Chain A
Amino acid sequence: MDGWLDTWTIVRSAITHCVSIVLIAGAFAGSLYLSGLLFPANTIVAWWYKRLDFALAIIVPTFLAVLLLNTLTRFVIDSVRVTWKGAPNDRANLLLA
């Protein structure tokens, strides 16, 4: 039962992150799409499409990639520490929170 709870905590957090960024970025891009349909020759919509959405499409995936590298590095460091000092010295309770 404890293992199931730990696993569910991880999956729940992952789903929350994915749903959050999809909702926020999707609302941003969806608003741009609707604005483009309603105001096809608007200067603000053109600015939005060419600059704001462009920056969003670069920064968000790059930020995710940086988080992935950071996570893998911390995984390796924690694994080395557990292997070196033994299981009671792991940080699983922090990592799973």
Chain B
Amino acid sequence: MSHGKHTSTASGTWEGYTRLNLWDSMLVVLCLAAIGGWYWTRPPESGKKPTHVLITAANKPTREISLLYDRTINIRGHLGLSTIRIENGKVRFIKSVCRNKVCIHSGWHQHGGVACMPNRVTLELKGHTVEYDAYAY
């Protein structure tokens, strides 16, 4: 693929290229899903560094884990265990039952997120927190 002068960033224009139609984008998604991993990056919101990672596994409630402390977490997904590692405010998959290990090869993530499609585990980095439903004291 040849790079036009505006196409290197996500906010670049599509000038000179044909816009993807619905079927094209579905094909892309399917291909990515078939390969088995999916990650996205996004500049941090208003320059804030992410503080938490939201973990969603197949049919399980979302968990929010702080990025402040280094740790290793096992997550039971659709196929089996995925292991993620939190270190220095970054997160990555380090072990996974999936076949192609795209999630592992995608490496460390500092913003945006990463998903292991076959095992249905999503990690999303969040810079801000939601409100509370109750206070425990």
A binds B: no
Residues of A within 8 A of B (CB): none
Q: Could you list which residues of chain B lie within 8 angstroms of chain A, going by C-beta atoms?
A: none
